[in-house]
């Protein structure tokens, strides 16, 4: 199948021309699994094949997970590149038959294979990076049968440092008003790999791992299919540890920049930690609901061979996945109000708690309890923009977690929400119709 994306479109582009491929790759948030959160560098060919088989036997492929992604540490750390062709050499101990063998088996399972590289001299783990080798590496990935590239941001040489620095966690130096971050050297490093990928005769989903630097949300849609928005995630509710962050600081950033997402280009709030660390069941649940609601890529990061039923159930929730993968409405849910804080407050413990979005099934309300105690959370229907026209009507409210209707409500909906849990609700007319299909966030 021919795959050529609209390179000419990109070159001629005004703002917001995404990498639109004929087969639809990247139109919706990617769904899959990645080795990093549980395996780190301790990876080998057979791990990925086993994961592919488990995605099928656990029913995860059936609900949409399709990418099996190799993260850092897959190449030969000593030899790095072939001395003549300069191609990156896979680690023969980890991948004895090369990456193309892994790809072949993964494809035979009806799944897709992802790989990892870095827009610097070395990856974060110190393996060969792709800066300056974009065309050679894109050609290798394509010839091996790779379908997805996560492109990291470590080890950038000084001549590629940005003129103005923007790191979302700050502090930052000020850029001139109106500065176009799409001209930054960060954008140039990522665009070089985009151009190399577009020259290949293969669709490769392009996942920018630029950590929100250089305001990637302003130019990412011209460059790739998704872009990381913050430092690394860790399996904790709040706080930070070195360069990794808990869930609430990430949701705080999303409270302000949720709107950079739409079809073909997605804010990436990082891979899922559902099932990892010391999250409670409510926190595991909130994590998944929030990432679905934000239209983030859904990349599982937990071990599948020992996965527990409650975790599998969360990752398999069809209604939340359907919201994330909606074919008609591309926008993320948006904050309706902050709740705990005054609207618009930046708070890494108590971000926006009340969110509304829309799908082909109806209007959706997500209520996140950021407090350590059970809270009665409530919303007046007349405060929801999409319902203002019929604020006094009766609505049918449905619980997306249980798949059951909660009943009819008039005036407002109020529910007790457990500490750190998220109520995920669908609101329709009492006949089950969308109350206002023309509204979007």
Ligand X SMILES: *[C@@H]1O[C@H](CO)[C@@H](O)[C@H](O)[C@H]1NC(C)=O
Residues lying near ligand X in the complex (CB under 6 A) are found at: 16-18, 20, 201, 221, 236, 259-265, 275-276, 278-281, 284, 308, 310-311
Candidate list 118, 152, 262, 421, residue with the active-site label: 152
The count of other CB atoms within 10 Å of the CB of residue 293 is: 25
Of the pair 30, 128, the CB lying nearest ligand X is at 30
* Minimum distance, C-beta of residue 194 to ligand X, in the bound complex (Å): 14
Candidate list 232, 262, 268, 326, residue with the active-site label: 232
CA dihedral of 10, 25, 364, 299, whole degrees rounded to 10: -110
Of the pair 55, 315, the CB lying nearest ligand X is at 315
Beta strand extents in 73-140 (DSSP E only): 112-118
* Minimum distance, C-beta of residue 311 to ligand X, in the bound complex (Å): 5
* Minimum distance, C-beta of residue 279 to ligand X, in the bound complex (Å): 4
Residue 408, C-beta contacts closer than 8 angstroms, at least 6 positions apart: 394, 395, 396, 397, 430
SS3 9: helix
Of the pair 89, 304, the CB lying nearest ligand X is at 304
Conformation bin of residue 336: beta by default, left when phi > 0, alpha when psi is -120 to 50 = alpha
Output the DSSP codes for 302-344. S-STT--HHHHHHHT-HHHHHHHT-SS--PPPEEEE-SSS-TT
Cis ω on the peptide bond leading into residue 171 (within 30° of 0)?
A: yes
* Minimum distance, C-beta of residue 208 to ligand X, in the bound complex (Å): 14
138 touches 197 (CB < 8 A): yes
d(CA 85, CA 143): 14
End-to-end CA distance of the chain: 36
* Minimum distance, C-beta of residue 181 to ligand X, in the bound complex (Å): 12
Of the pair 193, 260, the CB lying nearest ligand X is at 260
Of the pair 263, 354, the CB lying nearest ligand X is at 263
* Minimum distance, C-beta of residue 83 to ligand X, in the bound complex (Å): 27
| Structure-block tokens of residue 353 | 């708690």
Position of minimal CB gap to ligand X: 281
Bridging pattern class, strands 266-268 and 404-410: unpaired
Of the pair 85, 259, the CB lying nearest ligand X is at 259
* Minimum distance, C-beta of residue 429 to ligand X, in the bound complex (Å): 29
d(CA 295, CA 258): 9
d(CA 37, CA 26): 23
Of the pair 348, 391, the CB lying nearest ligand X is at 348
Q: State yes or no: is 152 an active-site residue.
A: yes
d(CA 26, CA 18): 9
Bridging pattern class, strands 354-359 and 362-368: antiparallel
Of the pair 279, 363, the CB lying nearest ligand X is at 279
* Minimum distance, C-beta of residue 76 to ligand X, in the bound complex (Å): 28
Q: State yes or no: is 82 an active-site residue.
A: no
DSSP-assigned letter for residue 353? -
Burial class (CB in 10 A: 0-12, 13-18, 19+), 310: exposed
Catalytic residues, by residue number, are 152, 232
């Amino acid at each position: 199948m021919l795959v050529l994306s609209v390179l000419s479109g990109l070159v001629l582009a005004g703002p917001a021309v995404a990498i639109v491929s004929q087969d639809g790759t990247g139109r919706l948030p990617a769904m899959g699994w990645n080795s990093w959160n549980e395996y780190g560098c301790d990876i080998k060919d057979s791990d990925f094949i086993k994961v592919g088989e488990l995605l099928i036997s656990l029913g995860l492929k059936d609900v949409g997970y399709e990418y099996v992604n190799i993260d850092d540490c897959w190449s030969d750390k000593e030899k790095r590149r072939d001395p003549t062709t300069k191609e990156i050499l896979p680690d023969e101990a980890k991948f004895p038959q090369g990456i193309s063998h892994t790809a072949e088996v993964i494809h035979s399972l009806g799944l897709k294979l992802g790989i990892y590289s870095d827009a610097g001299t070395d990856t974060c783990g110190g393996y060969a990076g792709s800066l300056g080798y974009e065309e050679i590496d894109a050609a290798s990935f394509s010839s091996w049968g790779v379908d997805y590239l996560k492109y990291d941001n470590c080890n950038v040489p000084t001549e590629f440092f940005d003129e103005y620095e923007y790191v979302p966690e700050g502090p930052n130096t000020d850029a001139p008003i109106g500065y176009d971050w799409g001209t930054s050297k960060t954008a140039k490093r990522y665009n070089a790999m985009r151009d190399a990928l577009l020259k290949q005769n293969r669709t490769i989903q392009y996942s920018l791992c630029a950590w929100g630097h250089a305001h990637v949300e302003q130019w990412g849609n011209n460059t790739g299919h998704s872009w990381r928005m913050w430092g690394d995630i860790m399996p904790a509710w709040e706080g930070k540890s070195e360069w990794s962050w808990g869930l609430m600081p990430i949701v705080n950033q999303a409270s302000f920049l949720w709107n950079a997402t739409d079809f073909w280009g997605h804010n990436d709030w990082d891979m899922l930690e559902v099932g990892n660390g010391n999250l409670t069941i409510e926190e595991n649940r909130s994590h998944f609901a929030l990432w679905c609601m934000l239209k983030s890529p859904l990349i599982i990061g937990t071990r599948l061979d020992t996965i527990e039923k409650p975790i599998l159930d969360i990752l398999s929730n069809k209604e939340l996945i359907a919201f994330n993968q909606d074919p008609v409405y591309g926008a993320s849910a948006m904050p309706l109000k902050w709740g705990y804080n005054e609207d618009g407050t930046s708070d890494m413990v108590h971000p926006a708690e009340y969110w509304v979005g829309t799908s082909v099934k109806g209007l959706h309300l997500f209520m996140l309890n950021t407090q350590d105690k059970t809270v009665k959370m409530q919303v007046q229907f007349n405060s929801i923009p999409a319902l203002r026209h019929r604020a006094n009507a009766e609505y049918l409210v449905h619980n997306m977690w249980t798949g059951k209707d909660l009943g009819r409500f008039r005036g407002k909906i109020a529910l007790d929400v457990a500490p750190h849990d998220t109520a995920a609700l669908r609101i329709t007319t009492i006949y089950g119709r969308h109350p206002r299909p023309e509204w979007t966030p």
